[in-house]
Chain A
Amino acid sequence: MELIQLLLNGLSLGAVYALFALGYTLVFSVLGVINFSHGAVFTLGAYFTYLLIGGQAGANGLLAGLQLPVALPFALALPLAGLASALVALLIERVAFRPLRQRGSDSLLALISSLGAGVILVNLIQLLMGAESYAIPIGTLGSLPAALRFAGAQVRTVQVLLLAISVLLLLLLSVWLEGTRSGKALQAVSEDPVTAQLLGIDSDGMIRLAFGISGFLAGVSGGLVGLSVSIAGPYFGISYGLKALGVLVLGGLGSVPGAMLGGLIIGLAEAFVPAEWSGWKDAVAYGFLFLILVLRPQGLLGRPLGTKV
């Protein structure tokens, strides 16, 4: 029973990390740069979800007391929040990435500009919604029980939902990448954008698509995590972002299956930390990451790349 409990704990944690890391991966694969504004888009997704289900803005922001005239069911609010987050991600691509890319700037600059975009977004959230915490009301999932039992192990229903939606999105993304023309076009761009463009693939369009999907995934995962553990203020996405960065590196930079595997491994590593060491779970997870990288610097599923001479 204890093993099943630990597996459930680890999988539900890991699925969120994987979903988050996938957003990083998609952008990294096409631009070779980590989009540091991803955590802010994740946070935004949680706030969008909160407002769309009828949540009211607190007392400390410019939008104090704001409540949308409609209160959507969570099942509708979540994808809509994902779409709104995708639009924000596209805006970030337009403002923080494209101008630098068009000037042929070093990708390190794009990394810094993405960090700047993230900081601006987080501060904007704080300005508009205040620094207070928000929680999606208990009972949002209707008549579903608060927790479920599997073979003597117990897990919160929201965690099961989170795991199921994460796995579904991961599978859809994999199928799209491997089984569709546009998915393969994205892979081609990630492999070599110049050649892809010569072959008639719209590299810029593919980059925008990667940002859009990445923003959607961030928004949906933000909404799901907000449902599970409340929205602890505008900085809510930062710790998840850091963890997902570890996941990204562990799985192999730019590898979609690697992001999934890395997420699950980090989640399981945290869950399997003994109770008396529970406060050290981050140290254990990152220690594990360090060990893997020493043994396999390109990450678990990353490809070793030759050095140019």
Chain B
Amino acid sequence: MKHEPVIQTRGLTRYYGARAVVQDLNLEVPRGSVFAFLGRNGSGKTTTIRMLLGLVAPTRGGGSLLGCDIRALTPAIRARVGYLTEEHQLYGWMKVREMGAFQAPFYPRWQDKIFQGVIGHFGLKPEAKVKDLSRGQRAGLSLALTLAPDPELLILDDPALGLDPVARRSLVESMIYLTRRSDRTIFFSSHNLADVERVADQIAVLDFSVLRACCPLETFRSSVQEVQLRFAGAPPPLPNIPGLLQAFRTERELRVTCIHYNGETERALRQLSPLSLEILPMGLEDAFISYLGERGEKSFILADAEVAS
């Protein structure tokens, strides 16, 4: 039981008209992980999340959530999942305290201690009117309402969107607090790679509707590498390099980003007889950008005339 993934999809696919929004997705989210779901805007993250929750029907394929088929989720299963979206239903005329009291009866495992803890952490006053809250405070209230039912699986769709740095930090702290229970799983989408680096241990990368990576964060980071080659003159044309992501040439230098750099890659690069070959360490954000950026060779050289004009 413990080793059964909390989320699992097989060939999950969704079309809108003739356009595939999510294509053949095989995703596995281990129990107890903090799983970051990454990808550029429009890559299909939200549609995937909505399919996982049974809010959108898959065109093909399927999956399971806490062991239950996503096409037939029961209320009992839904009660064990916390879902936070941007458009969380908040009633402006209620007070913060009343929002909690209003939601509590719907959830058998509601814990007021968690609700109080989170609103306190975001600096919310229980007597404040919901309509007077700032964006960050509304996010804090939504998070409190999502966490108080003590969900086994927390699904957050871009929770950091539009939050200021202070509110974002409170969010990340709350996520870390949640990992105190090792059987709790967090699945969240985000564009903020600094937060991802802090909090996530697993990542999945969606690119143009297709899953391109699903692995521990460190595996992803260490498998993308940048190599700097120096030459006496203009760098020679680049042969076919296995795993090439991007190449960038300047006057006497070639910078090549590869995935799964190994002996074979190095031999291919050495054949260009560079003066030096150096592997440069890469941060998560750079690795992500090369991984999802346009493939192939680029140069950034503008003719002097163009710059001057």
Q: Are A and B genuine complex partners?
A: no
Which B residues contact A (CB, under 8 angstroms)? none
Which A residues contact B (CB, under 8 angstroms)? none
